[in-house]
Amino acid sequence: MTTENELFSAVDALLEQVGQDRLPPPAERRRLREAAGLSQDQIAAVLQTRRETVSGWESGRSEPRAPKRGAYARLLEGLAERFPASENVSEGGPESGPESDSERASGSSVGPVSASVSPVSSVSPVSPVTSVSPVSPVSSVAGPGSGAVKASGRVEAPPRVREGRGGGGSVAGDPRFPHGPLAVLDAGADRQVVAYCVGGLVLDVPAKSLPTLVEWALGEAGLGAPRLVANGRDADPLLVLTDAAAERYGLPARLSQEERHAGRLPEDHKVVKQLAKAQWQLTRRGLGPWARIYRPAQGGKRSCVQLCLPGWDALDSRSWGRAAELPPAELARLLGTYATRVLTPRGSTAVNGLELMTSLHPPTRAGRPDADGRRHSEHNPGSLGTQPVDCAPPEAPDGHPLLAHLPRFHQRGPEEVLVEEAYDWARPLTDEECLRPYVVGIDVNMAFAAGANGAVVGLGAPVHVERPAFDAKVPGCWLVDLSHVELDPRLPSPFTATGVRPEGPAWYATPTVAYAVELGYEVRPAEGWLRRETGRYLDAWYQRLRDAYVATMADLGVTTGMEPQAFLEAMARHREVDPELALVLSAIKATVKGGIGKLRERPRGGGWRPGQPWPALQRPTWRPDIRAAVISRTRVNMHRKMLRTAAATGRFPVAVLSDCAVYASDGPGPLDFLPYEDGKPLKGGFQLGVSPGMVKHEGTQSVLWAEGLREEYGGELNLARYIKDGRITAEDSGE
């Protein structure tokens, strides 16, 4: 017979089931929580879920499921009894009034502005405000985050702040940008757009179109970042649009094949027309994956917003991993960490690397006041200036206009072209090495950044000199014969990327020739293209990227000063500590390599013909000589450490690929062959550690694996390329 308790339990279950079907609307869920003074984190903790999940329930983007749905319904029911809705509370927020005729004509409407809300109070209706500034919405706002009195006498309300991880309020050190450098925008089923900012902050976005979204970003959103140096400029706000947000503002979630090929939307697209009608302009890149929307500066005030559309492949997986797949809040954290430690993203990691150079060494600065007290811009010493300079003929890549006079299909030899590239070299194992059980790879941390550190580079145009006396302090390229330099054949030549000893005169960057002198050999250059105006242009660039790398590694549990074994153990698990933060690490490393590569950007896209200029040549930062100097220093640094290791231990690398060297070893780890005495590494050799220029474990395979590859593929495969996981694809093998 059924007991009374069992009947009561059945009734409770039925009531819970009824509650599951009768959750209040999303806006009411949020109102009840705010009225009770509860945060999303508190509710998430009680329901044993994530804060982002609760945020989704309150925005309507998702709905709770059993068993959490019943518990959530019970909580809301209890809150509703304590905090009943009043008639003067608006659940959906205020809407914008109609635009005036003058605003439509000028395209200056800012659109709806949300009400100011305390994170723990109910919503109070506030009259919407329309900007009266026809040019720059920034100039009419006293400061984001607080009411700003306009010329009209009205008060602009700050953006509605929702609860988020880290709470509401300012998340940046600069009061002009209280909500950080960027926001990831997402739209719910109710088409309401919310912005996820750095620090877990969540803002309501009132804008209904892309032009008004730009106005919002420049005004009440409180987004941006302060300049990196005194002569620089503040970073523009970055808006990252999810697929849902893109569609909410009239953009496709994915580009068509034709649009992908063009890299942008066509000029007749309705959103492009909307921007033009509102007097916003696009750069030459147009409305593509990374779009810059601006109005010409007025009175020194910039009005510019950067858009990023992950759905259009803005976040290349080769640099950002799976970042484009992350939920909005996690993507905001990832990009915000990168923006805080490197700079606000403005394009690919390669573009960011180049932009960081310019941000740290702006081409101009404010000069002294003239007789009228006005300041005019002048050249900033130590920068590359505002105008591009011609490269030397040996520095010009194939197809450059300087080479237009050469016969078609002419192949330039070493005596005609400067070839400074990273190592790609391998040799057969000796009989002694074959008796060792393992081959172990070590990889230099941030090798190209370390190569940039302390590099003296030319800042101006080159001058041609016949039979110059070599001077290691003068940057440039030198035609010199280094074929007489004899080194152990078990080491790659330091003068060529292939590691093969040069056969005669060739063009080399200054660090390469200086290394020949360091080894004790005489050099007699026949020609030189030299730059007398010099500077350590990349030092600040290196330091910022080094600090970003080291700080991110510390967050992942790998710190400076660790003992070698502790370092290896921490490195083995660092990507598991925080997978999203590990993506930031990958982006930082890609910024280094991409930035150096951008210094000699080649033609891209169809329509270009050899001998014709391409757009990159118009940049002051198109400097193949600086790229050559960095790569030369990186390769020489690698050779110097291999040479000292060989002298101390008698061990030589069997393969080198860029910043990775492979050694035969008696044990499976780097400590089994790297020379350490009393815990101290060989001076001038490879040292385990996290700092740029130090090394980490890249991978270990068996000698049988290495010899098997050589038997199957001959000497065509570089072991260093596959040492990490041992896998070789059909593409790698040439099949």
**Structure tokens given for 89:** 């509370």
Residue 172 has pLDDT above 50, yes or no: no
Distance between CA atoms of residues 656 and 279, nearest Å:
55
Q: Give me the residues paired with residue 305 across strands.
A: 293
pLDDT beyond 70 at 610:
yes
Q: Which residues pair with 183 in a beta bridge?
A: 197, 239
By C-alpha distance, which of 203, 312, 188, 325 is closest to 251? 312
Q: Which amino acid is at 339?
A: A
Q: Kindly state the percentage of the chain with pLDDT values over 90.
A: 67
Mean pLDDT within 585-612: 93
Which two tokens mark 433? Answer: 């090495």
Asked if residue 234 lies in contact with residue 227, where contact means CB atoms within 8 angstroms, the answer is yes
Q: 118 pLDDT band (50/70/90 cuts)?
A: very low
User: Residue 587 and residue 326: Cα distance in Å, rounded?
Assistant: 15
Handedness of CA 593, 597, 599, 603 (dihedral sign): negative
Q: φ and ψ at 292, to 5 degrees?
A: -110, 120
Where residue 115 falls among pLDDT bands split at 50, 70, 90? very low
Cβ atoms 424, 718 nearer than 8 A: yes
Torsion of CA 200, 203, 209, 215, to 10 degrees: -100
Rounded CA-CA distance 735/729 in Å is: 9
Angle between helices 26-35 and 51-59 (to 10 degrees): 120
Structure tokens at 596: 């150096």
- pLDDT tens-digit map of 203-247: 999 999 999 999 999 999 999 999 999 889 999 999 999 999 999
128-152 average pLDDT score = 31
Task: Express each pLDDT in 384-404 by its tens digit.
Answer: 999 999 999 999 999 999 999
Whether the Cβ atoms of residue 640 and residue 415 lie closer than 8 Å to each other: no
pLDDT at 157: 44
Contact 428, 682 (CB under 8 A): no
What is the dihedral angle through the alpha carbons of 45, 49, 51, 56, rounded to the nearest 10 degrees?
-140
Give the whole-angstrom CA distance, residue 25 versus residue 73.
11
CA distance linking residue 599 with residue 425, whole number of Å: 25
Residue 123 contacts residue 98 (beta carbons within 8 Å):
no
How many C-alpha atoms does 262 have within 13 Å on its Cβ side? 13
- pLDDT at position 459, please? 95
Of 147 and 288, the structure prediction assigns the larger pLDDT to: 288
Distance (Å, rounded) from C-alpha 541 to C-alpha 357? 6
Tokens at 541, concatenated: 């660039």
Are 365 and 386 in contact by the 8 Å Cβ rule? The answer is no
Please state, rounded to an integer, the average pLDDT across all residues of the chain.
85
Give me the DSSP letters along 653-687. -SEEETTEEEEEESSSSGGGTS-EETTEEPTTS--
The Cα–Cα gap between 263 and 242 comes to 18
Instruction: Compute the distance between CA of residue 546 and CA of residue 454 in angstroms, rounded to an integer.
Output: 13
Average pLDDT over residues 118-143: 30
Work out the average pLDDT over 50-71: 82
The pLDDT value given to residue 240: 98
Instruction: Tell which residue, 92, 153, 106, 307, has the closest CA to residue 218.
Output: 307
Quick one: tokens of 330? 């996690």
Residue environment code for 150-184, b if the CB has 16+ CB neighbours within 10 A, otherwise e: beeeeebbbbbbbbbbeebebbbeeeebbbbbbbb
The full set of domains in the chain, from first to last, is 4-82 (1.10.260), 107-344 (no CATH)
Instruction: Identify the pLDDT of residue 14.
Output: 53
Distance of CA 350 to the CA centre of its chain: 8
Residues 54, 162 contacting (CB under 8 angstroms): no
CA gap 222, 53 in Å, rounded: 25
Structure token pair of residue 134 = 């026809």
pLDDT tens-place string over residues 639-669: 999 999 999 999 999 999 999 999 999 999 9
pLDDT at 626 over 70: yes
Question: pLDDT class for 51, splitting at 50, 70, 90?
Answer: confident
Confidence at residue 37, expressed as pLDDT on a 0 to 100 scale: 78
pLDDT at 91: 32
In the structure, how many helices (H) and strands (E) does the chain have?
A: 23, 25
Q: If pLDDT is split at 50, 70 and 90, which confidence band does 58 have?
A: confident
376: alpha, beta or left? (left if phi > 0; alpha if psi -120 to 50): beta
The residue-averaged pLDDT of 457-486 equals 96
Beta strands in 462-597 (DSSP E): 463-466, 476-481, 505-509, 527-530, 534-535
Task: Give the pLDDT confidence of 258-279 residue by residue, as tens digits.
Answer: 999 999 999 999 999 999 999 9
Answer for the pair 322, 333: CB distance below 8 angstroms, yes or no.
Answer: no
Query: What ranges in 342-493 are assigned the alpha helix state H?
Result: 349-360, 431-434, 447-452
pLDDT score at 44? 85
Provide Rg for the chain, Cα atoms.
30
By residue count, the chain amounts to: 735
**HSE-up of 555 (CA within 13 Å, CB side)?**
16
Mean pLDDT of 139-157: 33
> Which of 240, 258, 257 has the alpha carbon at shortest distance from 311?
240
Report the C-alpha gap between 626 and 462 in whole angstroms. Answer: 12
Nearest to 706 by CA among 319, 426, 412: 426
DSSP 8-class letter at 138: G
Residues β-bridged to residue 356: none
DSSP H helical ranges for 361-464:
431-434, 447-452
Cβ contact 527:478 at 8 Å: yes
Percent of the chain exceeding pLDDT 70 equals 84
Residue 257 CB neighbours (<10 A): 8
How would you label 219-246 residue by residue, b for 16+ Cβ within 10 Å and e otherwise?
bbbbbbbeebeebbebbbbbbbbbbbbb
pLDDT band at residue 153, thresholds of 50, 70 and 90?
very low
DSSP 519-562: TT-----SEEEE--SEE-TTHHHHHHHHHHHHHHHHHTT--TT-
* Residue 674: per-residue pLDDT: 95
Query: What is the rounded average pLDDT of the residues 77-85?
Result: 80
Distance (Å, whole) CA 419 – CA 414? 7
Overall average pLDDT of the 487-493 stretch: 95
Which range has highest mean pLDDT (109-113, 219-223, 298-302)? 219-223
Q: How much helix, strand and coil, in percent to the nearest 5, is found in the chain?
A: 35, 15, 50
> Where are the extended beta strands (E) located within 574-706?
655-657, 660-665, 676-677, 680-681, 695-702
Q: Averaged over 331-355, what is the pLDDT?
A: 97
What's the pLDDT score for residue 606?
73
Nearest to 516 by CA among 547, 496, 494: 494
